[in-house]
Every structure is written in C-alpha cells, then in structure tokens.
Amino acid sequence: MSAPLDIGHLSPARPLIGPAERLVVDGLRQWTSGTAAGDKPLLALFKRELTETQARTAAVALEQFATALGLCAVCPLRAANTGPCDLSRDEMLILGLVSAIQNGDSEAAELCLRALTCSSRCDAVALAAGEFALIMRSLGKTLLPMPARRIHGALDTSAHRGRPLAARLH
C-alpha cells in the first residue's frame, strides 16, 4: 500500500490526498483520458492496490460513475493542469462526493451533487457515485472525511481552473 502523498500546505482547494483519494483521482483521470474500464491501463491501476476481481469490480463502478457524471454535468468537467498532487475544482468535488457517501455526510454529498450536476439528473449521479463509493469502502479504500464547510470554502475560492476532461464526458 502506498503512503499518503505530501501535498504541502492544506487549504480548502487542496484536500489531503491519501492512497484511497489518489486511487479515485488517478482512476478518473485514466478513464477520462480515453481508457474504458475493461482496458489494461485502468485495470492495472486498480490492481496495484486490489486483487484482480476487486480491481475489475472497482473499474466497472468507476466507469459507470464517470459516465453518469459526463451525462449529467452542469458544464464540462475539468482536471488539474499541473502535477499529480494538484486537484481541479471538479476533482475535489468528486472526491468530496465519494467521501461524503462513504462517511455518511449527507450535507457534503448534497453540496457536491448540486455543484457537479443539473438538478434533474442528481439522482442518476448519486446512484452511480453511491455504488462506486460503497464498493471502494467494502474493499478497504475509504476516503478521509471532507466536511461541507471545507467544500464550501473550496467552491468560494476556486474558479473552473484546469483543462477540460475528455469530450466523451460532456
């Protein structure tokens, strides 16, 4: 298992990134770069932390979550422009949503859903996110809690910085 990454000074826009968070962000970036869940690079990413069967289960759930996000996003989703320790606003919201579901924080989950999706499609994203979050938790990959106040702070201080994710997401 990998140790938490040192990302320097923490702020609302730069949440702590541990192994579970890194797996979610890297998996999403891998998928949005054009890799489907059945492809080797995404599966190899999950297999570094999980067994073959677990990796396949997690990869399929991530693909369903990413697909739902792409269909339901308020505007094109963005990834960070810079290094692996930086997060875009959307990546932070995705981590916040998965964390909120895993840690039972309905206020944070609702806040992330409202910021990421159109109101008519929140349920579809919530279902896909919930399945992915619960699968990851069942596999021992629970994200650190990210309280709603931290998400509010990140929303207040961040613009849509970063590069757009792959066109297939929106």
Inter-residue contact 78 to 89 (CB < 8 Å)? yes
Directed axis angle between helix 148-157 and helix 106-116, to 10°? 30
Predicted TM-score (pTM) of this structure: 0.79
- Report pLDDT digits (tens) over 67-102: 888 876 556 565 555 555 578 888 889 999 999 999
3-state secondary structure of 99: helix
pLDDT at residue 33, rounded to an integer? 73
Bridge-partner residues for 125, per DSSP? none
The predicted pLDDT at position 161 comes to 45
**Residue 37 · residue 31 · CB < 8 Å:** yes
DSSP code for 85? T
Where along the chain do its domains lie?
19-162+164-168
Reduced to 3 states (helix: H, G, I; strand: E, B; else coil), residue 78 is: strand
Q: Where are the alpha helices (DSSP H) in 1-78?
A: 19-32, 40-47, 52-72
The distance in angstroms from the start CA to the end CA of the chain is 34
Average pLDDT value for residue range 33-46: 71
Residue 150 has pLDDT above 80, yes or no: yes
**Looking up tokens 């964390």, which residue turns up?**
99
**Residue 148 pLDDT exceeds 60:** yes
Percent of the chain with pLDDT over 70: 71
Q: How far apart are CA 77 and CA 32, in angstroms?
A: 10
Mean of all residue pLDDT scores within the chain: 78
Q: Which residue has the higher pLDDT, 156 or 113?
A: 113
Around Cβ 119, how many Cβ atoms within 10 Å? 10
Mean pLDDT, range 44-57, rounded to an integer:
94
The pLDDT of residue 116 is above 60: yes
Provide the CB-side half-sphere exposure for 61 (13 A, CA).
23
